[in-house]
Each structure stands twice: as C-alpha cells, then as structure tokens.
Structure 1
C-alpha cells in the first residue's frame, strides 16, 4: 500500500475562522490531523521588536514564523505521513469556540470521504489527510509548494478588528498569555496582513481583489458572504476531486 499525503491549506487573517474550518475538516476527513502554523513561531524571546513602535511584532511575516523549521516539518510529514514526535502544539491553550454545522452536511461528507478512502485503498493507495492552518500560509513559496489544496478565508477589516478586540489573548508555546498592546491592531496586525497577502490578490486589494495566480489554484472564500456550512460544502467538493485524481 502506497501512502499519499494530502496537505489541505487553510489560510486567512487572524480571527478569520480558519481554525474553526480546519477542525470541521479534521472531523470529516478520515484519520486526519491538523498542523497549526502558530506552533512554528520562534521562542518568545526571539520575536523581533517592531522598528517603529518598539513592541514585539508577532505578525510580520519575516519574523513571526520559524520558516526553516516549518518547511522541514512539512517535507518530513509529506514523506513519512507522520507528524514528528518532537512537534508540540499549544493550540489547546487558546479559546475554543464551537461553531456547529448541520448534521446532515457533516454526515454526508463523512460518508463520501469514507467511500473515497476505500476506493483508493482498492487501488493500492492509502490517503493521509493533513490540514495546515495559518495566518501566513501563502507568504513563503516553499510552504505554498507543499500544499495540495489552497483555501483562503477573507473577512472584512472591521469584522476582523472586532473579533480580535474580543479575544482575551493568545497563549505562546512557553505557556504565557500574549495580550495586544494599545493600537496593536492598526499599527502592526493589519499592515502586516496587507503586506503578506497583497501580492496574491489583484491590485494588491486584500478586501476585494480576486486571486491573481501568484498562489496557484487558490480557493478564495469571502467569509461574510458564505456561511460555514456552504464553505464546508465548497471545500469538501474540491477535496473530493483532489482525492480521486490518479497520481
């Protein structure tokens, strides 16, 4: 039996709903696991200071992620189908908000992917699903290259800002709680998001621009226009197509 690892990328701004979607996909895809990009942040003491505002900058792409470690892990998982034993996730420390979808939707897709799994096994192929979620998922070309499906959730600025303000903070790998300093959203979070994503959208317009081809096969979902169940439907339909493609 040949292993076939399928990386499902779920990207989007902070508070865009990507982790919620990722967890629904984990529930629907047989035996799947999630890799959270947040778990590849450098140690807290190595997070750089913003050159102008002199506070730690957890959001600018260059310093927010340990890119060599993330790329190495993705390549290892793609080759072995197993998350390295030394990899640790602190996602469980953060707020977990349950956003359910209709049971008939989830049951139908569970049955669909179970059937596809059996069909692929009959062809000698074992499917291994790995959902990768992250707020900088499409910035580094070597990360993009590893992803087999590329989903991007877009939510308007004002909605993102309100959701971020309502959060109590973010737990770091060391277990401490990071709280945004005053004006952190407008000074650092939003400018970093625009800088990291403008290059993949038409006209650099992160609010309204369509995919410009810089991230091949990007599935852009406007989160305020499409409900969660509809989003799950669209994404799962694409994943079913991907899974049934002969290699």
Structure 2
C-alpha cells in the first residue's frame, strides 16, 4: 500500500552513457501523462527528473589522470554530482507530487535524437495504460503522480555487497522502481563520441592542479541543505565537449567500476555474482567485456535483449513493469 504521506511514485532509469535513458523517460512520459483515472475528472500527472541537472558547477568538477598522464575533468564520477541535493529533491517529489521550484532543467537544452518508436506504438500503449487504470484502479481523491528519474549513476548495491554505506544509498532508497538499460561498449563509444557536447553550469574551471591524491573518483561532495522552494539562482551556463579519448579513459572504466556489483563477468568466473570491486580497474573492464550482462537478483529490473533490443521492446517492458508496480500500490 502507498504510504499516506507520499504523493508520487519515483521510477529510476539508469545505465551507461548513451544507453537510451533520456529517450525512454521521454517516451514513458508521453505514454502515461494525462491518462484518465477514476474518478473521471482525475488525470495521471508525470514529469522527468534528470540527474545531469544535479552536477556541481564547472569549477567544482573533480579532475582525474588518464593513462597517458593527462589531467582532465571527470564528469562520470559520483564526486561530480551533488548527491545530497538530489536526495532532497527526490524526497520533496515523493512528499509533494511536484518538482521543487528550485529545480530548473538544463538537460532539456541538450541534443535530442529520434526515439525510433512510432506515434502509433505510443498511442497503443496509452490506450493499454488507460484501460488498465480504468479497470483496476481504485477510487481515489488524489491526483496521482509518476516521476521518471533518469541518470547514469543512481543505484546502490545490496547490503551484503557493501551497499549500506554506499554513496548512492539515499538516492537508491528514494526510488520506488529501479530500471536498468544495459548497452554495449561499442554502442556507448559511438553514440557518446557522436554528441556535440553538454550544457553545464557555473564559472569556468581553473587550470588543473597536480595532486598526489589524484582527485579520482570517490563519494559525492558535501553539500549544505538546499532551499528547494527558492528560485534557481545557479550561475550562467557553459558547454562541455568530451576531450579525445574520454570514453576509453573515463566514461567506460568509471561505469564498469561503479557497477561492478551489478555487471556479470563474461569469462565465466563468478558468473551471476557480478564483478569484484576489489579488482583493478583494467581487470574489471576486461572481465565485464562489452558490459551487456547484468544480475537480476539484486532488486534491479534489467531491460530485455542485453542492450540489443529496440526501443519499442524496451518501452513495452518498462510500461508493463510500471503499470504493475503502480497498481499494486493503490
């Protein structure tokens, strides 16, 4: 049963860069938004939350050292995300059923691509959702809300894998349903390198400073309590373009390391147990291979097709899972 103080269900959509997270979130919003409920004058409300909107300003993004010894900013680590701000925002959404006024999206200013899903399929799925909700939903005086949260780093491992103290624990626990989209290394590399860049916020960073600690990875930076009801007063926007070799130096190894608990080794060693976070980064990358196999026993729903299914198949899978979860909570 849905707790009485909660006014929204949060659906988390995660996976590597360029795996289709934003595309799926936008399709799901089209499928679910405004669907008639019982009573007839009630409609389903939906909106999207982009994890990219919770990046620290440019001058607070950490640096890392590539294999060639070059110092560059690392946008693919938890240390680049204001995790306390994200957690506060998710709890606000659950309690109020709306986005906090503080949050204004810059992600929607970035490039969009064709979803590959026809309007006919979207309308077909809207009809299925409407029919199921009309037939099965119990009478409610509330206007229910579904929030779709999409991001590259949202989930934490289970407690037996060290998840209790994980930097993303508060984010993971604020999500009701966890959806994961695997994607092969070659696809991630091609799509990511094909992007023009990303809108960012804040002052330009200072030149990198050499540090014995390296400044690599780690947990999210400490953030003070955010006034979620205040207007967004974050600094002017900039534009980030991946430097040459960024996917191989940062994006892919960071993804594999952060998801070692979820990904399954392709060499048969430890099959169905996920990667070993104690291994060196290069060993993890080697064992995971193209990165398309993920565990299904850790509370995370994994999209069908090992990254090869079309977005129409993934969309149908997600709609069915969300419908089932939503109806079970009513």
Please report the TM-score for the alignment, with normalisation by the length of structure 2.
0.69
Residue 42 (structure 2) pairs with residue 23 (structure 1): no
Kept after mapping to 2: 8 A contact 1:172/1:178:
yes
Matches within 5 A, 1:195-234: 195-202=257-264, 203-204=274-275, 205=288, 207-211=291-295, 213-214=297-298, 216-222=299-305, 224-234=307-317
Q: 1:156 to 1:46 in 2, by over 3 A?
A: same
| Deviation larger for 121-130 or 24-33 | 121-130
Residue 80 (structure 2) pairs with residue 64 (structure 1): yes
SS of residue matched to 1:131: strand
Residue 83 (structure 2) pairs with residue 88 (structure 1): no
SS of residue matched to 1:55: strand
Select 1:151's aligned residue among 161, 179, 199.
179
Select 1:78's aligned residue among 55, 70, 94.
94
| Deviation larger for 114-123 or 191-200 | 114-123
Q: 1:130 to 1:229 in 2, by over 3 A?
A: same
SS of residue matched to 1:233: helix
What count of residue pairs does the alignment treat as equivalent? 244
What is the rounded CA distance, in whole Å, between the counterparts of 1:240 and 1:147 in structure 2? 16
Larger Rg: 2
Root mean square deviation, CA, Å: 2.1
How far residue 97 of structure 1 moved from its aligned partner, in angstroms, is: 1.1
What is the rounded CA distance, in whole Å, between the counterparts of 1:223 and 1:23 in structure 2? 21
What is the rounded CA distance, in whole Å, between the counterparts of 2:31 and 2:292 in structure 1? 30
How far residue 98 of structure 1 moved from its aligned partner, in angstroms, is: 2.2
Equivalent residue number for residue 132 of structure 1:
149
What is the rounded CA distance, in whole Å, between the counterparts of 2:74 and 2:105 in structure 1? 21
How far residue 121 of structure 1 moved from its aligned partner, in angstroms, is: 5.9
Answer 1 or 2: higher relative contact order, Cα 8 Å, separation at least 6: 1
Kept after mapping to 1: 8 A contact 2:199/2:237:
yes
Matches within 5 A, 1:168-207: 168-173=196-201, 174-202=236-264, 203-204=274-275, 205=288, 207=291
SS of residue matched to 2:63: coil
How far residue 8 of structure 1 moved from its aligned partner, in angstroms, is: 1.1
| Deviation larger for 127-136 or 117-126 | 117-126
What is the rounded CA distance, in whole Å, between the counterparts of 2:318 and 2:133 in structure 1? 17
Structure 2: any 5+ residue segments left out of the alignment? 34-44, 157-167, 202-235, 265-273, 276-287
Instruction: Please identify which structure carries the higher helix content.
Output: 1
What is the rounded CA distance, in whole Å, between the counterparts of 1:179 and 1:104 in structure 2? 36
What is the rounded CA distance, in whole Å, between the counterparts of 2:12 and 2:306 in structure 1? 16
What is the rounded CA distance, in whole Å, between the counterparts of 1:40 and 1:229 in structure 2? 29
Select 1:41's aligned residue among 45, 50, 55.
55
How far residue 87 of structure 1 moved from its aligned partner, in angstroms, is: 0.6
Structure 1: any 5+ residue segments left out of the alignment? none
CA offset digits 1:11-60 (Å, max 9, x no partner) = 11111111011100010112310000000000111001114531111112
How far residue 157 of structure 1 moved from its aligned partner, in angstroms, is: 0.3
Kept after mapping to 2: 8 A contact 1:120/1:127:
no
Please report the TM-score for the alignment, with normalisation by the length of structure 1.
0.90
How far residue 117 of structure 1 moved from its aligned partner, in angstroms, is: 4.7
